[in-house]
Structure 1
Amino acid sequence: MDITFFEDELFRRWNERNRQNGERHIVKDGVISPPDYNASALKVVFALKEFNDPLGDGEAIDYTYEESDIRQFVGEDGGRPATWDNLARWAIALRSLIEGKPVPFDELPPSSSEMRRSNLKSVAAVNVKKIAGRSKSDYKTIVDAAKYDAGLLLEQLRAYQPDIIVCCGEGVYDGLKGFVFANERITNLPIMPGNFHSFIVNDRTTVVDFWHPQYPAIEDQDMYQKFVEVARIALAK
């Protein structure tokens, strides 16, 4: 399957639906680099809340973002360090775990655009809420978006055939489990350290709850170490 062709056609239908309903244009997302994703031994999807609207306007009907595309935003520029540094570190952790040699935090490469580009090119980044919003989105907004777009989100996630979906931030995990995967076969897994939940969907994909990469209550090093602990358990399922 041509992933980019599939995504662009899906987003065309998504935007057409939004136009008919008087809603804003979506921000495109998905696989950063299809050749690298297809070649990866571990298919990883980071499920995020929403794209941060730099104008701070999360409500107005506005097609400013018609050309906004996270695939290019991350693939060409590496994304903003505040979010994408930690996601790149988590991608390194996942790859190193399946190789049996988790990388310690103090051996991770330093923050840079190249570090983010090179380590995120083999993953997919999917926003539950496709319309750009404010920097702080509440739980209900994200869950409501998952409910409203459940069919389209399911179509997108199914196409990637991921081994693991890491849900980043409040509302993402509950939105996927409660609505996007509501009619799929779900196997609940034991609660993990830190009270993180997880399940397996259709005997294939592990879906795990975790903090948002900008979660302010914990330092990056402690967050990374907790991610390694949680990911190790999730990958063992």
Structure 2
Amino acid sequence: MKTITEQLDELHSEWKNRLMGQNYIEDGIINEQAWRAPGLKIMVLLKEPNSTDWGWEYQDFLLRRGYLEEKSSTWPNLLRWTYGILHGFPSYKEVEEQFHCIKQNSLDFFGSVCFANLKKIAGTSSANDHELIQFSDISHPLILKQISILEPNIVLCCGSIVFDLVKKSLEKEQIQFERKHTSGGLERLWWNHKRINIVRYFHPLAYIPKEISYTYLINEIKEIV
């Protein structure tokens, strides 16, 4: 039986061929052993890589902790969100008090997180939704295959368009799912066969106070899992 890493390698080769190699940036897990360990697994699905170059892998970016050099609020929010979900849903105040240590020790829990992009081609800090739709039309079965290989408990879609395109892909492939809402109104899809929650959420750069975006997400995910 093939490992998760081998399956993802084959998937990325297929994806590159379908896109004829254009500026492709791989993403996936950083440690298969950690990913297979008991506990919650989160796939954070973003729009596209913010990069002017290509030929690099998201896993290497994470392993060298390149996210600590980022100046936007994207990665600080992603750190807060994923840490909170994986560590018993602490309050925002608790997370902020420990945030320096959380950042410095983030690789300790990133083994249970897969950061991936819907569009695997290098883009800019402001994603073009029309390009995202075009990319999804070309390769929509492959993002579902990536989710299927990983089998996370939660796919956190960062941005409504990401969620909508995953939903559209499920519909195109005639995959059964249920549309649900938490008591706080958070929308999710329940992929019946795979037992995966696909969650609609804000992009980490959305104009929402970080304490509100953290607290709302944590409370609603706690209800789901």
The TM-score, its normalising length taken from structure 2, stands at 0.86
Give the superposition deviation at 1:210. Answer: 0.5
Q: For 2:38 and 2:49, how far apart are their aligned partners in 1?
A: 25
Task: Work out the CA distance in 2 between the residues paired with 1:143 and 1:180.
Answer: 14
**SS class of match (2:181):** coil
Match of 1:94 in 2: 85
Measure, in 2, the Cα distance between the counterparts of 1:85 and 1:151: 31
Q: 1:180 and 1:125, CA in 2 relative to 1: closer, same or farther beyond 3 A?
A: farther
1:183-202, aligned counterparts within 5 Å? Answer: 183-190=174-181, 193=184, 195-202=185-192
Q: CA deviation at 1:34?
A: 1.6
Q: How many residues align?
A: 216
Q: Which residue of 1 aligns with 2:15?
A: 14
Asked if the contact 1:166/1:207 (under 8 Å) is kept, the reply is yes
- Contact 2:41/2:152 (CA < 8 Å) preserved in 1? yes
1:109-120 map, 5 Å? 109-111=98-100, 113-120=103-110
**How far did residue 191 of structure 1 move?**
5.9
Whole-Å Cα distance in 2 between the matches of residues 143 and 196 of structure 1? 23
CA RMSD, Structure 1 to Structure 2 (Å): 2.1
Alpha-carbon distance between aligned partners in 2 of 1:153 and 1:33, rounded to the nearest angstrom: 20
Query: Structure 1-normalised TM-score?
Result: 0.82
Secondary structure (helix, strand or coil) at the match of 1:208 reads: strand
Q: Which runs of 5+ in 2 are unaligned?
A: none
Match of 1:200, SS? strand
Write the deviation string for residues 61-103 of structure 1: whole angstroms up to 9, x where unpaired. Answer: xxx512x111110122152363222222212221234xxxx21
Q: How much has 1:184 moved relative to structure 2?
A: 1.0
Given that residues 170 and 176 in structure 2 are in contact (C-alpha distance below 8 angstroms), is that contact kept between their aligned partners in structure 1? no
Matches within 5 A, 1:43-58: 43-53=41-51, 55=52
Give, as a single letter, the amino acid of the residue that structure 2 aligns with 1:226: Y
Task: Give the aligned partner of residue 75 of structure 1.
Answer: 63
Percentage identity across aligned positions? Answer: 25
Partner Cα separation in structure 2 for residue 7 and residue 43 of structure 1: 16
Which deviates more from structure 2 when the two are superposed, residues 103-112 or residues 204-213?
A: 103-112
1:107 aligns with 2:90: no
Change (3 A) 1:35 1:181: farther
Q: CA deviation at 1:164?
A: 1.0
- Is the 8 Å Cα contact of residues 44 and 115 (structure 2) preserved in structure 1? yes
Name the SS for the 1:155 alignment partner: helix
Contact 1:138 1:170 in 2 (8 A): no
Q: 1:146 aligns with which of 136, 148, 153?
A: 136
Which 4+ stretches in 1 moved above 6 angstroms?
A: none
Contact 2:157–2:200 at 8 Å: present in 1 too?
Answer: yes
- 2:144 and 2:169 in contact (8 A); partners too: no
Higher deviation after alignment, 80-89 or 128-137: 80-89
Alignment match, 1:218: 208
1:165 aligns with 155
Is the Cα–Cα contact under 8 Å of residues 182 and 223 in structure 2 kept in the other structure? Answer: no
Structure 1 residue 131 displacement after superposition = 0.5
Secondary structure of 1:133's partner? coil
Unaligned runs of 5+ in 1: 56-63
Rate the CA distance shift 1:140–1:229 in 2: closer, same or farther, 3 A: farther
Mapped to 2, the partners of 1:117 and 1:163 lie a distance apart of 19
Deviates more, 1:73-82 or 1:122-131: 73-82
Is the 8 Å Cα contact of residues 187 and 199 (structure 2) preserved in structure 1? yes
CA distance in structure 2 between the partners assigned to 1:140 and 1:25 by the alignment: 18
For 2:28 and 2:86, locate their aligned partners in 1 and report how far apart those are by CA, in whole Å. 19
Residue 29 (structure 1) aligns with: 27
Q: Say whether the 8 Å CA contact 1:15–1:25 is kept in structure 2.
A: no
Q: Residue type of the partner of 2:15? A: W
